[in-house]
Amino acid sequence: MPNQTPTITATLNVAPDFTGRVLVYVKNGEVERDMPLSDDQIALTVDGFIDLAKRAGWHVALAGETK
pLDDT in tens, 6-56: 888 888 888 999 999 999 999 998 889 999 999 999 999 999 999 999 999
24 domain-assigned = no
- Cβ–Cβ < 8 Å for 15, 1: no
34 domain-assigned = no
Total count of domains within the chain: 1
Question: Please, what is the Cα angle at 36 between 56 and 40, to 5 degrees?
Answer: 25
**Is residue 2 pLDDT above 80, yes or no?**
no
What whole-number distance in Å separates Cα of residue 19 and Cα of residue 31?
19
pLDDT at 67: 64
The domain in which residue 61 lies consists of 40-67
pLDDT at 22: 95
What whole-number distance in Å separates Cα of residue 55 and Cα of residue 6?
38
